[in-house]
């Protein structure tokens, strides 16, 4: 898809300013949202050869980081900050691909554990190599720019009660 030849967000901000206040805030939020769309598309394209989306990849990484290679489904939702329904859907897809297992918790019959399989560990390593080789789609930014963006977004996240 070819570029438009102009920045539609800048044009939207110009028009916004003719009607309403908070132009800089609207411009920034719209830019962040568009950047997120672009990054997800790029990361999902990088992960497609591994039959993963970025959301499924995040689950595999989380399970890789866990001490036992498995976590309660509720804990996955808490850590990834997604709804339980989304976790169930992600785990079902990963289980169908043989990348995770889902078993009842031995001490709590109401809880299920998701665990990464050997195949899942292999896939997450290969997928991570692809993402890091592409610098997660943001290789155009230098270390100082990355630090500044992370710090700025950290302020927003903290103010929203994210952590």
pLDDT digits (tens, 9 = 90+) for 40-52: 999 999 999 999 9
Look up the domain containing 147 and give its range: 8-159
In a domain, residue 22? The reply is yes
Residue 152 corresponds to which tokens in the numbers above? 């700025």
Contact (Cβ atoms closer than 8 angstroms) between residue 47 and residue 57: yes
The total number of structural domains in the chain stands at 1
Q: 2 in a domain, yes or no?
A: no
Asked if residue 115 belongs to a domain, the reply is yes
On whether residue 3 sits in a domain, the answer given is: no
What is residue 1's predicted lDDT score, i.e. its pLDDT?
A: 62
14 falls within a domain: yes
- Over residues 96-108, the pLDDT tens digits come to 999 999 999 988 8
DSSP class of residue 6 equals S
65 in any annotated domain: yes
For residue 42, what is the domain's CATH number?
1.10.10.10
Average pLDDT, the chain: 96
């Amino acid at each position: 898809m070819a570029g438009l030849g102009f920045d539609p967000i800048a044009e939207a901000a110009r028009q916004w300013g003719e009607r309403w206040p908070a132009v800089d805030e609207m411009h920034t939020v719209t830019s962040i949202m568009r950047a997120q769309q672009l990054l997800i598309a790029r990361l999902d394209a990088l992960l497609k050869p591994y039959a993963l989306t970025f959301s499924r990849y995040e689950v595999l990484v989380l399970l890789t980081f866990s001490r036992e290679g498995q976590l309660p489904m509720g804990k996955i939702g808490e850590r990834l900050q997604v709804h339980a329904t989304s976790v169930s859907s992600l785990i079902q897809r990963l289980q169908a691909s043989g990348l995770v297992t889902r078993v009842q918790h031995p001490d709590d019959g109401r809880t299920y554990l998701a665990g990464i399989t050997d195949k899942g560990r292999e896939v997450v390593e290969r997928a991570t190599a692809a993402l890091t080789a592409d610098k997660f789609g943001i290789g155009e930014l230098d270390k100082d720019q990355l630090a500044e963006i992370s710090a700025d977004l950290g302020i927003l996240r903290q103010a929203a009660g994210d952590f």
